[in-house]
Amino acid sequence: MRILLLGAPGAGKGSQAKMLVEKYKTPQISTGDLLRAAVAEGTEIGKQAQKLIDAGQLVPDAMVLGMIKDRLQEDDAKNGFILDGFPRNQAQAIALDELLETLNWPLEAAILLDVDNEKLVQRITARESCEDCGQMYNLISSPPVNEGICDKCGGKLIHRADDNEETIRKRLDIYVEQTTPLIEYYQYQHKLFKIDGMGEIERIFDSMCKIVENY
């Protein structure tokens, strides 16, 4: 499986990617997660990225491209990958195509999770994730059994600093401006599949599985 997930922040890409990882044993590669790990480790990239992430801006293309290039060359990616949050603009999409061509691993599908932008602000401000296993929760629609504690592993639940209303609106604007042109980009390559991302998480996942098993 060599796919990428497209969709606005909060559309459910991370949650669906984690379910795909569990079912198909294919790694999720999230540039957001890679950047947050770099910030937590205090690397040079992390230091440069932090301010931009906190402001809801995109980090420079060269930075994420370097990370993706290294990550795709790790052993587990030989059996496929689920890209989440990358590419975010046309320059990244072109660079990804070039990279995959040199690796001889053409992308098979770009799956768009289509969600109403206004609902997203509500969804994102209510989300928390486990700092240990990454399991995601929504405090309104899918809260954990015990507040602040992961149902799956008992880890601590955290709320991302950039999941506040002001930053979310900025991230949504950037999504509309820079990422939505990729819908046409992948449509043109006949690789775009669209799913309504507003319903039940399990139903969305069923649609996702039908796509990855039939494209």
Distance CA 114, CA 117 (A): 9
Distance, in Å, from the CA atom of 111 to the CA atom of 66, rounded to the nearest integer, reads: 23
Catalytic residue (choose from 2, 18, 36, 88): 88
Interacting residues toward ligand AMP by CB under 6 A = 9, 31-32, 35, 52-53, 56-59, 64, 85-88, 92, 162, 171
Name the catalytic one among 2, 71, 123, 127: 127
Helices (H), the chain: 13-24, 31-41, 44-54, 61-72, 90-103, 117-125, 165-174, 181-188, 201-214
The yes-or-no answer on residue 127 being catalytic is yes
Question: Which residue in 33, 15, 8, 39 sits closest to 168, CA to CA?
Answer: 8
Q: How many CB atoms lie within 10 A of CB 141?
A: 12
> For this structure, is 88 an active site residue?
yes
Of 45 and 58, CB closest to ligand AMP: 58
Nearest approach in angstroms of CB 205 to ligand AMP is 19
Contacts of 52 (CB under 8 A, 6+ apart): 58, 59
Catalytic pick among 2, 13, 18, 71: 13
Catalytic residue among 160, 169, 191, 194: 160
Nearer to ligand AMP by C-beta: 12 or 85?
85
Q: Find the shortest distance in angstroms from Cβ 147 to ligand AMP.
A: 23
2 given a catalytic annotation: no
Q: Which is closer to ligand AMP, CB of 35 or CB of 113?
A: 35
Q: Is 169 designated active site?
A: no
Half-sphere exposure of 85 (CA within 13 A, CB side): 22
Q: Is 194 a catalytic residue?
A: no
Local structure of residue 162 (DSSP, 8 states): T
Which C-beta is closer to ligand AMP: that of 173 or that of 206? 173
Nearest distance in Å: CB 178, ligand AMP: 9
Residue 199 tokens read as 């319903």
Q: How far apart are the first and last CA of the chain?
A: 10
Instruction: Give least dist CB 87 to ligand AMP, A.
Output: 6
Q: Which of the residues are catalytic?
A: 13, 88, 127, 160, 171
